[in-house]
Structure 1
Amino acid sequence: MLTPTIPGPDPNTRTPRFKLPPLACDAHCHIFGPHAKYPYAPDRPYTPPDAGLDDFRALHARLGVGRAVIVNASVHGTDNRVALDAIAVSNGAYRAVANIDDGISERDLRALHDGGFRGCRFNFVRHLGGVPDKRVFERVVAMIAPLGWHLDLHFDAIDLPVYAEMLAKLPVRYTIDHMGRVKAADGLDQLPFRTLIDLMQRDEKCWVKVCGSERVSSAGPPFTDSVPFARRIVETAPDRVIWGTDWPHPNVKAMPNDGDLVDLIPLFAPEAELQQKILVSNPAKLFEFDRQE
């Protein structure tokens, strides 16, 4: 038995008041284990309770989610089997983002692509290991470019201004996780958020995830102080914004109820047209849900 070092998600998911549209996509979520079948990496930065496929499906059934993108978390290292296996039994409803390094072969990369992966993730966040090796980062970017994959990038807000020029020069599309992890208490005019908005305005490769309200919020549940940030992001580039729950919410200060997170959507995107974009058409485009192989 492994002893978890972080709590699991709220087990009593509330049915949201807001009804998600058909084929709404949770474009940032995780599956953890079960570790007996999908072992956690020995050098993992934390140990979560198992949050497997059955719980994952039950969550989305309660919320009304029709599609999902599984972001393979650092707890599984570069072993992407948990997401690969989930996609295989999803009847086309799942895609995934991989954790890889430059040790992966082109054959293995193609196998992930054929299995439904459409991007790979790099963590720049300090508590998850900090800055990736520049050589590895550049080599992986060169490897994924021919497949049309994007980079999924996780930053501490304070570091966004440092990496802005590097991001703008990337040869592939990239998504920035959790609204850049900006702090709501620092206001809309803070430098990290201005940097994020500037990237969205001048770089058509830049996509942003309006997820992680519980990480952005300074006030705590129900995290409504994150809404002005999400609203500004949606207004800035409505064709390059996607939404996710971040279930099962590893390493958060206040555990959210996922029903509450869904009910934030009409606050930052009250227009039906915008809801359709960020929940359905944008993720379908980025992750090729509707493409016939």
Structure 2
Amino acid sequence: MTRYVPDADYLPFDPAPSKPDFVLPPGSVDVHTHVFGPGDVFPYAPERKYTPVDAPKETLFAREDFLGVDRTVIVQATCHGADNRALVDALQTAGDRARGIATVRDDVTYDALAQLHEAGVRGVRFNFVRRLVDPKPDAYYRAIAERIANYGWHIVAYFEPADLAERWELFTTLPTDLVVDHMGRPDVTHSPDGPEFERFRSLLRDHPQVWVKVTCPDRLTRTGPPYDDVIPFAAALVGEFGDRVLWGTDWPHPNLKSHMPDDGQLVDLVPRVTGDPAAQHAWLVDNPERLYWR
């Protein structure tokens, strides 16, 4: 049995977050979480670029209960590669309360996809962030997209602004819906009305099959909590694309270097982004239900 030692600079998740003041509406969905290991049960991938602190399903589900989250989407972590066993195990434990986003390779079989679908998987993730993975040519991703389209799944894409220009044709011609992680990772030192973020907004504006996770202020901030510098970007997306925005915590917040966020504080950002109860309900309940459960 392999014993894993987390990276020396890996920040563990906060074991005791604050209780949020904002009460999430019934049916709220956290669309971006992960399970890590435990490594002695679900080994980490040999090709991984980081070794995390274990973050098992039991801790995830207890954290969601504490925050007032009713349903969860678990995203396969790069440290597990294309071995989805930890993800599937968590989905089977949660039943209809959870859905999953898997990682698969371009030679994945239809039998394997059918098994993942039965477990609750509803999409696959394409990661283009070079510090985490080694991105592949477009043809690799298209081969996967063609296979998963048969199941009505969608694609989750994690990229940085420079990748948007490079992969524009791929992102706009996929045969599935596309969900963009973490607001497309804007540079929040620029204006939300500037050319870089406007290019991202044009992706959403001109392609109604594209959705966006309005998530991870802790990854985007330059000023730190309470993330005042990220709020204008989040508010712009929720205001303009209210029927295609999704909310999540990113627990257990892998690979952060500056600080570890308080999950209760992340929930309390919701009314700071929008005070409109209808917009909050769409962001937290209606949109993810439509994408993951219907």
Q: Quote the Cα distance in structure 2 between the aligned partners of 1:198 and 1:45.
A: 33
Q: Is the 8 A contact 1:159 1:192 kept in 2?
A: no
Q: Quote the Cα distance in structure 2 between the aligned partners of 1:96 and 1:132.
A: 23
Residue number in structure 1 paired with 2:185: 181
| 2:93 paired with 1:89 | yes
Q: Which among 261, 264, 281 is matched to residue 266 of structure 2?
A: 261
Q: Quote the Cα distance in structure 2 between the aligned partners of 1:165 and 1:220.
A: 34
Residue number in structure 1 paired with 2:12: 8
Give 1:124 shift. 0.6
Q: For residue 234 of structure 1, give the secondary structure of its aligned residue in structure 2.
A: helix
Cα RMSD for the two superposed structures: 1.2
| 2:21 paired with 1:20 | no
Give 1:135 shift. 2.4
Q: Quote the Cα distance in structure 2 between the aligned partners of 1:254 and 1:7.
A: 8
Aligned residues: 289
Q: Is the 8 A contact 1:150 1:173 kept in 2?
A: yes
The TM-score normalised by the length of structure 1 is 0.95
| 1:236-265, Cα deviation, whole Å (9 max, x unpaired) | 211111001001111123211111111111
Tell me the amino acid that sits aligned with residue 260 of structure 1: Q
Q: Is the 8 A contact 2:138 2:170 kept in 1?
A: no
Q: Quote the Cα distance in structure 2 between the aligned partners of 1:121 and 1:47.
A: 19
Where structure 1 has 5 or more consecutive residues not aligned to the other structure, the ranges are none
> Which range moves more in the overlay, 17-26 or 161-170?
161-170
1:205-220 to structure 2, matched below 5 A, reads: 205-220=209-224
1:83-232 to structure 2, matched below 5 A, reads: 83-232=87-236
Give 1:133 shift. 3.0
> Which range moves more in the overlay, 181-190 or 74-83?
181-190
Q: Quote the Cα distance in structure 1 between the aligned partners of 2:183 and 2:98.
A: 23
Tell me the amino acid that sits aligned with residue 162 of structure 2: I
Q: Quote the Cα distance in structure 2 between the aligned partners of 1:207 and 1:192.
A: 18
Where structure 2 has 5 or more consecutive residues not aligned to the other structure, the ranges are none
Q: Is the 8 A contact 2:142 2:174 kept in 1?
A: no
> Which range moves more in the overlay, 104-113 or 84-93?
84-93
**CA 1:91–1:113 in 2, change beyond 3 Å: closer, same or farther?**
closer
| 1:181-231, Cα deviation, whole Å (9 max, x unpaired) | 112112213433111111111111100001111111111112121111011
**CA 1:248–1:67 in 2, change beyond 3 Å: closer, same or farther?**
same
Give 1:90 shift. 1.3
Q: Which among 59, 62, 69 is matched to residue 66 of structure 2?
A: 62
Tell me the amino acid that sits aligned with residue 56 of structure 1: L
Q: Quote the Cα distance in structure 1 between the aligned partners of 2:220 and 2:197.
A: 11
| 1:130-172, Cα deviation, whole Å (9 max, x unpaired) | 4223222110011011111111000012322332333122221
Give 1:71 shift. 0.2
- Identity of counterpart residues, as a percentage? 40
Q: Which 4+ runs in 1 deviate beyond 6 A?
A: none
Q: Is the 8 A contact 2:78 2:133 kept in 1?
A: no
Q: Is the 8 A contact 1:153 1:174 kept in 2?
A: yes
Q: Which among 253, 273, 276 is matched to residue 271 of structure 1?
A: 276
Residue number in structure 1 paired with 2:289: 284
Q: Is the 8 A contact 1:31 1:72 kept in 2?
A: yes
Q: Quote the Cα distance in structure 2 between the aligned partners of 1:181 and 1:81.
A: 29
1:75-86 to structure 2, matched below 5 A, reads: 75-86=79-90
Q: Quote the Cα distance in structure 1 between the aligned partners of 2:139 and 2:162.
A: 23
